[in-house]
Amino acid sequence: MNKIIIMGILLSSLMISSCVKDLDVTPVDPNKILAGNLNDDPAYMKQALAKVYASFTISGQGANGGDDISASDGNFFTTTRALWNLQEITTDEAICAWGDVGIADLNTQTWSKQNPFLTALYQRLSLSVTYANEFIRNSAGNTDPTMMRYNAEARYLRALAYAWSMDLFGNPAFTTEADAVGKVFPKQLDPDFTVGRAKLFNYVVSELKDIETKLGEPGFSYPQADQAACWMLLARVYLNAEVYTGTPKYDSCKYYCNQVITSGKYSLATKYRQNFSADNDAANNPEMIFAFAYDGVNTQGYTGTTFIIESSSDARYIRAEDFHGLTSNTNWNGNRTKKQFLFTLLGDTTAVYGGNPIPWTTDTMFVQCKDTRVLCKVKKQVDIPSASSSGDYGIGVYKFTAKNTDGSQAANYSTAFASTDFPIFRYADALLMLAESKFRLGDASAIDQVNAVRARAFGGTIGNITADKLTADFLLAERGREFYYEAQRRTDLVRFGKFTDGNYNWAWKGGAINGTNTDKHLNVFPIPGDELSANPNIIPTPGY
C-alpha cells in the first residue's frame, strides 16, 4: 500500500467483537493485550489471526466499526468486492450498469492506473500482507504447536495475497516480517517486470511448500487454512506458471491436485447450488476446501456474497422474495451477464437441450436446460444496447443465494446480509485443474475428471463427452460453466490467450458493441498511480 506504515497493528486488531464464524472470539480485556504479551497465550494470538483473515472479507474492525482503509464507501473498496470486479466485469461473464467512477473503464477494458478499483485491491492486498507480517513477526520462535500452526496460517494468507497480486499486478511492492518496523518505502523484488514477477512466483511457491506440513490436516477446522488449501493454491499458481514465468509447470499442478483428491476428505456436493447457498460451509458441504466465511449477524457489510447477490437482483426480473431471500436494501440492479457468455453456458446444445434450439423467449429461466449450473434469467432483452445500459438488459445471474440449499432461512439470518461463504477453492476446481494439466501434458485420461464434474451438473452421464471433444476451447468453456461469478474468469482467459486477443470478443470489450481485440499489455493491471506517487521505489508497469 502506498507507504506501508508498520506500527502497533496487533494492538488495534484486537479491538474486535466478532470475526469470521469459527474465528469469532472476544478478548476478556482488550486493553491488557499488548504487543509484548500477545505471545503469552494462544487465545490472544487467535484473536490477532482473526484480523488477518478478516482483512480479506470486510472493510474493517476498528473502533465503532471503522474502515481499515479510508474511503468514501468502505464496502465498495474491500478485497472480495474489488477482486470480483476486476476478475468478472472485465470479461464476458459480467457487466455493471452503475455510473460509479471506474466501473465503465472495467466494462470496456479501457482502465488506466488511476482506476479506483485497482487502487483499492492493490492497497487491500498490501494491507493483508502487512497484518500477516506483523503476526508472523510476533509469533516467530514460539514452539507451542498451536502457535506454530497459527504462524503457518498467517504465512498462507500472506502467500494468498501475494498470489493474487502476482496474477493481477505482476510485480507489486514486496515486504516480509524481516523488514524494519516503521515508515518504509518497499521495493519490488526486481525493477524488471518479468524478472520481478518470476521471483514473486518462486517466493510464493517456496513459502507454500515450507508451511505445507505445518498447517492443520485437511478439514481440521473450517474456515481456517489447512494443508488442502495449501495444495490448492500451489496447484493454481502452477497452473498459471507459464503466464507468470514463461515456463509451464503442469506436472507440478497435477501433483498437488492429486494431493487433494487422494486425501479422501472431499467430494462433489450432490447439488451444484449447494456451493452458493447459506449452508455451503464445510459442515454441510463436502466440496468446500477453503472459503471466505460470511455471517449475516457477525460479519455484516455490503461486500462478499452479499454484494454479488444484491448487485445481481432487481425489482422486476430477479426479485429478492423469489430468489435470494434478502429484503433490506435490496435490488441494486447492476451486474448481469452478456449473451456471449450465455452461449458458453448453453453452447453444448446437444447435451443441454437435447439438440433442440435454445428457447429464448419461452424458457426465460432455462428450466428445460439439463445443465443445472445454468442459474440465469433472460431480462428485458438479451442484448445490452450500451456499456452503461440499465441492469434491465442482458441475462440475470442468480447463482448465489442467501437461502439454504432447500430454500429455508440461514441459521444466522439477516434481512440485509448473507451468511453464504465465498468459495476460494472447492473440489470441482481440483478436478478441472487436474484435467487441464493432463490435457496439456497429452494425457487422454483428462476426460475422466471433466466428465465427473459434468455428471454432477447433468445428474448423470447425459452430459458426458468423448475424448475427441476435449479441446482447449472446451476446457475454457467448461471452467466458465462451472466457476462463473466466482472471480476466476479473467485469470482463465489470460491463461488461454483469450482475455485481450485470441479473437474472442464480447459485448463492449474495447468499447465496441460486439467487442474487439485489445492490447496485450492489459493482460496485467497497472501498479496504481497512488502507489507510484507515494513510493519512489516502484517502477511503473510496462505499457501503462
Top pLDDT among 454 and 354 is at 454
Residues 318 and 211 in one domain: no
Cis amide prior to 223 (ω within 30 degrees): yes
Cα–Cα distances in angstroms (integers) from residue 39 to residues 51, 143, 157, 373, 446, in the given order: 16, 11, 19, 47, 48
Q: For residue 28, what pLDDT is reported?
A: 34
Residues 284 and 342 in one domain: no
Residue 204 domain flag: yes
Residues 241 and 372 in one domain: no
Residues 207 and 119 in one domain: yes
**Averaged over 455-462, what is the pLDDT?**
96
Range with the poorest average pLDDT among 64-68, 153-157, 201-205: 64-68
Residue 539 domain flag: no
Residues 107 and 198 in one domain: yes
Interval 111-135: pLDDT, tens: 999 999 999 999 999 999 999 999 9
Residues 121 and 173 in one domain: yes
Q: Is the pLDDT of residue 64 over 60?
A: no
Residues 367 and 448 in one domain: no
Residue 221 domain flag: no
- Asked if 507 and 340 count as a contact pair (C-beta separation under 8 A), the reply is yes
Interval 334-355: pLDDT, tens: 999 999 999 899 887 777 877 7
Question: What CATH number is attached to the domain comprising 237?
Answer: 1.25.40.10
Within 13 A of 98's CA, how many CA atoms are on the CB side?
16
Residue 357 domain flag: yes
Q: For residue 45, what pLDDT is reported?
A: 85
User: Confidence class of residue 59 from pLDDT cuts 50, 70 and 90?
Assistant: confident
Residues 348 and 246 in one domain: no
Hey, how many other C-beta atoms are within 10 angstroms of the C-beta on 445? 11
Q: Cα(55)–Cα(124) distance, rounded to whole angstroms?
A: 8
CB crowding 236-256: b at 16 or more within 10 Å, else e: bbbbbbebbbeebbbebbbbb
Pairing of the two strands 182-184 and 288-292: unpaired
Interval 369-427: pLDDT, tens: 999 999 999 999 999 999 999 999 999 999 999 999 999 999 999 999 999 999 999 99
Domain closes at, from 357, 376, 403:
403
Residues 192 and 318 in one domain: no
Give the 3-state secondary structure of 418-461. CCCCEEEEEHHHHHHHHHHHHHHCCCCCHHHHHHHHHHHHHCCH
Residues 312 and 327 in one domain: yes
Hey, how many other C-beta atoms are within 10 angstroms of the C-beta on 85? 26
Question: What CATH number is attached to the domain comprising 30?
Answer: 1.25.40.390
Residues 36 and 53 in one domain: yes
Residue 356 domain flag: yes
Domain that holds residue 314: 300-403
Residues 439 and 396 in one domain: no
Q: Is the pLDDT of residue 6 over 50?
A: no
- Domain count of the fold of the chain: 3
Residue 543 domain flag: no
Q: For residue 27, what pLDDT is reported?
A: 33
Residue 513 domain flag: no
Mean pLDDT of the chain: 89
Interval 228-262: pLDDT, tens: 999 999 999 999 999 999 999 999 999 999 999 99
All 3 cell numbers of residue 438? 493432463
What is the percentage of the chain residues whose pLDDT exceeds 90?
Answer: 77
Residue 254 domain flag: yes
